[in-house]
Structure 1
């Protein structure tokens, strides 16, 4: 199977999670349209059940688990939003969830995860430190890893956003998408480029600790220092053994800012 997630997987994910997520509005922004000089539309994914797009990928990944995996439970490292989404999806499926986070994750996000019945573990000062604990849970307790971005089912779930956007705005010319590990923009780009190849996809990353941008510049996944940033949800590396998102972002995304 190709490392790239394709349109059939994204369409299947859309059907699979239809009753689990909220198709969110796409509305025009008069103020941004005036400033940009072109019509600007916003995808209101903050209205999703857990407050972010992450619920799409997490719901698809949990729904795809077999009975043995469900019995063992799921674990993930997260900067907060994926953990909250996975906790929600796991509770819906009756599956144990352990979310490992660094000390950089804001307390309100930790509390939101705990409120959904998952166990939150604070480990170290980076996503890499948190991932070490996830790896231990997999090796010693038989849990299943559902990472925040570099996972076929997660990417396919996030790609459902792309289908909704091009259907809501048929005249779409350019998509501007936040970029960290690349799961969201990889899924969106795969969906949109398959349906509308001429649409430009632009990724926006924070200036401090932009791991995907550094990796693209190096031509391979590289490690960067994780630094405090206002965009705390974009923190973390892409993994030196990245299987999917690096290649998809490299091949499908037109520009990174």
Structure 2
């Protein structure tokens, strides 16, 4: 029996309504011409915190607020922490965000700008998560996981519902894949509404924890590495409860991309789509540019690429564009 139902997803949507944007779904003429099928971009870049993470964070924080919670803590590669800080502030909660030294400075400062405490610890997302769990255990915070929590997954799943409502005949949805909260939620909702829709996960070659775990048949630990797709860094947790199994059961294909491909995705988004996006958000575009999606899959019908976030360090963005 599934731990999540479609009714749960619709309840999540009602709970976050007015706090999270219903984001645009726009066709890309350049990518449609390349793929020879309609290609649409789901622009989570317009969320108030600049990424899709606001959906899951807002739903989880709202549930905690219903229980009278006053202090929350999380671990983040940047976007989830920013989302938790934003959501918690609207409910009058105190927030601590644990982040590793690999998190870009712009994402650390964005968390602080929302009034949250940015607690830098260790050299990996796993280190940050261990500290967040310690604060939960020793200091009485309520923990808001970045992905492996049913309230977070339900919040992310609202994105899948939106896609199917706007484009009922979508045949392919391409989702950046990290810890699996977004993938699990979108894939679950999409396949509940339209069982034949194909779900492709895309991630970077450097330190792809979910890919390694799927290959091993169980959650495994990987070394986190610096990458343009920094939002996709970190492990999935050796005690993963939800996202590993959901991703394993719902994924139709998984694509790995190198750093040069991710850079090309960033450049294309800027020059052709007029979008400033982070590496993780450009990864679906990069997969199309690399012709990594099988021709047979593209022939099935329209493609949606989830453009997950805009929170790239502007100096890094400039270097990528200048180097192209």
**Class of the TM-score when normalised by the shorter of the 2 chains:** over 0.9
What TM-score does the superposition give when structure 2 sets the normalisation length?
Answer: 0.77
Give 1:19 deviation, angstroms.
1.1
Give 1:171 deviation, angstroms.
1.4
Q: d(CA) in 2 for partners of 1:67 and 1:173?
A: 38
Structure 1: 5+ residue stretches without partners: none
The alpha-carbon distance between structure 1 residues 192 and 135, as it changes in their structure 2 partners (threshold 3 A), is same
Q: How does 1:34-45 map to 2 (within 5 A)?
A: 34-45=33-44
Q: Is the 8 A contact 1:202 1:254 kept in 2?
A: yes
**SS of equivalent residue, structure 1 residue 20:** coil
Task: Name which of structure 1's ranges 6-15 and 175-184 shifts more when overlaid on structure 2.
Answer: 6-15
What's the counterpart of residue 191 of structure 2? 193
Give 1:9 deviation, angstroms.
1.1
What's the counterpart of residue 77 of structure 1? 75
Aligned pair partner of 1:116 in 114, 117, 134: 114
Q: How does 1:1-257 map to 2 (within 5 A)?
A: 4-66=3-65, 70-71=69-70, 73-257=71-255
Q: d(CA) in 2 for partners of 1:125 and 1:3?
A: 35
Structure 2: 5+ residue stretches without partners: 256-324
**SS of equivalent residue, structure 2 residue 248:** helix
Give 1:69 deviation, angstroms.
5.4
Q: Is the 8 A contact 2:65 2:91 kept in 1?
A: no
What TM-score does the superposition give when structure 1 sets the normalisation length?
Answer: 0.97
Q: Is the 8 A contact 2:96 2:116 kept in 1?
A: yes
Q: Which runs of 4+ in 1 moved over 6 A?
A: none
Q: d(CA) in 1 for partners of 2:203 and 2:131?
A: 27
**SS of equivalent residue, structure 1 residue 227:** coil
Q: d(CA) in 2 for partners of 1:3 and 1:146?
A: 22
Per-residue CA deviation, residues 27-81 of structure 1 (Å, 9 max, x unaligned), is 000001111111100001100110000000000001101566513x111110000
Q: Is the 8 A contact 1:4 1:247 kept in 2?
A: no
**SS of equivalent residue, structure 2 residue 119:** strand
Per-residue CA deviation, residues 165-211 of structure 1 (Å, 9 max, x unaligned), is 01111110000000000000100011010010000000001111000
C-alpha RMSD over aligned residues: 1.1
